[in-house]
């Protein structure tokens, strides 16, 4: 008799092998850039850090922009005109092309990740 997956774990059959229902991010995403892309473009790269390498994993990456204020507070607002990006499998990077940065002068680029 094989016991079912414990509470908080799942599988297609409800029996082992069991895994977390969503990827657990143990550290914040790494953002780099701006990086030159080709001859006339640049962009920022968001690298999702996750220990597991599960081909079923999906991450939704939304780009946020923090307005630098006098007191160095950040508002972390998502620009809803930018489409979020879905990354999956071995791909752990999302790219924000510089062409999307119109209207975001003097802001800090960040991300919001949903797994």
pTM: 0.73
Q: How confident is the model at residue 74 (pLDDT cuts 50, 70, 90)?
A: very low
DSSP assignment letter at 15: S
Query: Above 90 in pLDDT, residue 4?
Result: yes
Sorted by where each begins, the domain ranges of the chain are: 30-114
- Mean pLDDT score, 49-64: 81
pLDDT of residue 94: 92
Whats the size of the chain, residue-wise?
115
Q: What are the percentages of helix, strand and coil residues in the chain, rounded to 5?
A: 5, 40, 55
pLDDT of residue 78: 75
pLDDT of residue 111: 85
C-alpha to C-alpha distance for 72 and 70, rounded to whole angstroms: 5
Query: Above 80 in pLDDT, residue 73?
Result: no
C-alpha to C-alpha distance for 55 and 91, rounded to whole angstroms: 10
């Amino acid at each position: 008799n094989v016991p079912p997956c414990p509470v908080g774990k799942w599988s297609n059959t409800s029996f082992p092998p069991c895994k977390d229902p969503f990827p657990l991010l143990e550290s914040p995403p790494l953002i780099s850039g701006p990086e030159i892309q080709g001859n006339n473009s640049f962009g920022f790269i968001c690298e999702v850090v996750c220990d597991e390498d599960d081909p079923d994993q999906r991450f939704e990456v939304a780009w946020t922009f923090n307005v630098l204020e006098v007191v160095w507070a950040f508002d972390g607002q998502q620009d809803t005109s930018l489409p979020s990006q879905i990354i999956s499998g071995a791909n752990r990077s999302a790219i924000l092309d510089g062409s999307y940065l119109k209207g975001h002068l003097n802001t800090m680029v960040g991300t919001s990740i949903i797994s």
